[in-house]
Chains A and B, each alone.
Chain A
Amino acid sequence: MRPVYMITGGITKFAKSLPEKDFRRTVKDAFDYALADLPGLGRDQIDGSVCSYFSDHFTRQLMAGAMVQDYLGLNPKPSRRVEGGGATGGLCFQSAWESVASGRMEVCLAMGFETMGRVNTWKGNEFIALASDTNFDYPVGGFYTGYYAMMVRRHMHEFGTTVEQMAKVAVKNHLNALHNRYAQRPAKLTIEEVRSSPMVAEPLTILDCCQMSEGAAVAVLASEEMAQKLGGVPVRVSGVGAGTDAMRMADRPRGEVILLPHEEKDPYLDLKYPGVHSFRGGRVAAKLAYLMAGIKDPRLELDFVELHDAYTSSEIQTCEDLGLCRYGEGGSFVDSGAPFLPNLDYGLAFSGTKGWRPLPVNPSGGLLACGHPVGATGLMQAVFAFWQLQGTIGKHLGSGVLQLPDPRRGLIHSHAGTGTYITVSIMEKV
């Protein structure tokens, strides 16, 4: 395998519904943005593409990816679709990475979208729930927020995690998004407002959950030679990892914790893992990505994380899977203030870092506030991470508030099902 670089990216504004433009046109907008941001790159230099979108039910158009390829003027170059639930975008990014790393392509376009506003929210919930076992799970009351509510209820039982800690995640991500013009639901919130918003599935309120979204995102990956030739400020994709787990969370086995390089067995002797409280696939994805990127201690070697916070609870669970803190410490990690941006006033009191170095999690606002147009989401994270590492947040978001001072290395994390497909990719400043 050879080194792979992200050389440009683009996204559209995310919104509940974008009826003025169809999926082809939204991807085209994101694509044109990416091309305009790297003038050396034209369609001629793109060898092929990978397209990501989750649900044919939402598109009501099979082979929609082929129509995007066509609309972007990329025929007759190679293209394919990847799909893996919520992780569709992350899988697409890694599929494009493989195309370049393997030498099959010099420049590969990863492009994703979702059109969730074409049905009402309750019908959309049904479509999403069809990504759970349709023999045993879906008919019982198939509803992803219900599944995640059960998972976090067990997390609370095992580790003492609180709804206030979850609410702090909502406060953080929505406030960060106030400085991100692409975000769907930016807001200044209080813990009380999160808790008193309408209950969806106990203990998750509507502000603990991401929304239905439409929008598109693209990332262009290239070999070292082409990255140098095309100019701009490339960012290296230095590690990729992916993991899986049983579709039915009822089937999750209970064994020993899979350890990351900086962890020891001792704290986990009594923990039945992963149970329904943790995501084993996320832990494996992180482990593989850290191995490839040469990361020994993610707490010290990452400067920011863009992770799949479809729910406030899953951000807490995922921080543990990624080894940003120990299993069981996700709530305390939030209380400490470590995942918050140091330059923003969240109206919260923090307990101090307790040895945790500040490590912003979802500085963009994450899925909770930016939105979750499924096939675009994992690519949106890549674009925000790319801009962070380039130091161009101010240029792209219209405000430099979210720009971290000289970040060297970031992590992006994409997540499907109840932890069924998960990807982790590491991006580094060159």
Chain B
Amino acid sequence: MDMDAKLAESEEGTILFSTDPIIVKHHYEIDYLHSYAQDSPFFAGLTKKKLMGSHCSACGRRYATPRGHCMECGEPTEWFELPLKGRVHTFTTCHFGGEAFLKDTPFTLILVEFDEVDTLFLSRLIGTRPGEVLIGMQVRARFLRNCKFKPTDVYFVAV
């Protein structure tokens, strides 16, 4: 038994914001292994410049944002290709936001409505100046060539 056991010292310190009370900086970071699971075909579609929605053959509901099972009747849905043109259902321009998106501000969010589809799709609209976006305005989808497998691989511009 070593009665003089001693931990090694290090040069690392702690970032302090205050001493009364003591407020220290605590860093926290994590990488997840996130599976898109049953939503995966949507993200695969983005690589082929396709927007994939889901269709319920049991009750006929058509979803612009896909879901594996129908929200209305619970039956499994089938994939279908959404049109690449739609209309602005509503919109906003964000001048502030979460940390990850501050670099993008101001950015414009829209909910897109498509003919013959029951629900909407959240996306970004680019290329418009303040005051130019209107509800009902025609928009078309564009896709990133270098796919990131994120919903931002698709975005919209005015027609």
Over the window 111-150 of chain B, the binary record of Cβ atoms lying under 8 Å from chain A Cβ atoms (1 yes, 0 no) is: 1000000111111100000000001000000000000001
B92 pairs with A136, CB closer than 8 A: no
Q: Does B89 contact A (CB under 8 A)?
A: yes
Interface-central residue, B28, B104, B120, by most chain A CB under 10 Å: B120
Q: Does B60 contact A (CB under 8 A)?
A: no
Query: How many angstroms between the C-alpha atoms of A136 and B71 in the bound complex?
Result: 16
Chain A hits for B99, CB < 8 A: 120, 122-123, 125-126
B89 pairs with A139, CB closer than 8 A: no
Chain B hits for A343, CB < 8 A: none
- Chain A residue with minimal CB distance to B107? A141
Residues 46 to 95 of chain B near chain A (Cβ within 8 Å): 63-65, 67, 71-72, 89-95
Chain A hits for B21, CB < 8 A: 19-20
B151 pairs with A253, CB closer than 8 A: no
- Chain A residue with minimal CB distance to B134? A157
Q: Does B102 contact A (CB under 8 A)?
A: yes
**At the interface, is chain B mostly helix, strand, loop or mixed?**
mixed
Size band of the A side of the interface? 35 or more
Interface-central residue, A141, A202, A246, A253, by most chain B CB under 10 Å: A141
Q: How far is the CB of B37 from chain A (nearest CB, A)?
A: 9
Chain B hits for A262, CB < 8 A: none
Q: Which of B36, B39, B98, B109 contacts A126 (CB 8 A)?
A: B98
- Chain A residue with minimal CB distance to B61? A253
- Chain B residue with minimal CB distance to A155? B90
- Chain A residue with minimal CB distance to B92? A149
Q: How far is the CB of A159 from chain B (nearest CB, A)?
A: 13
A60 pairs with B28, CB closer than 8 A: yes
A126 pairs with B71, CB closer than 8 A: no
Q: How far is the CB of A126 from chain B (nearest CB, A)?
A: 4
A125 pairs with B97, CB closer than 8 A: yes
Q: Does A259 contact B (CB under 8 A)?
A: no
Residues 142 to 185 of chain A near chain B (Cβ within 8 Å): 142-143, 145-146, 149-151, 153-154, 157
Q: How far is the CB of A194 from chain B (nearest CB, A)?
A: 16
Chain A hits for B123, CB < 8 A: 140
Query: How many angstroms between the C-alpha atoms of A199 and B96 in the bound complex?
Result: 8
Q: Which of A122, A140, A141, A250 contacts B64 (CB 8 A)?
A: A250
Q: Does B5 contact A (CB under 8 A)?
A: no
What are 11 residue pairs bridging A and B, where the CB atoms are less than 8 Å apart in the complex?
A123-B99, A136-B39, A143-B98, A150-B90, A157-B90, A201-B95, A248-B122, A251-B65, A253-B119, A276-B111, A276-B120
- In the A-B complex, the 6 residue pairs with the smallest Cβ-Cβ separation, listed nearest first, are A126-B98, A149-B92, A250-B120, A143-B97, A154-B90, A122-B99
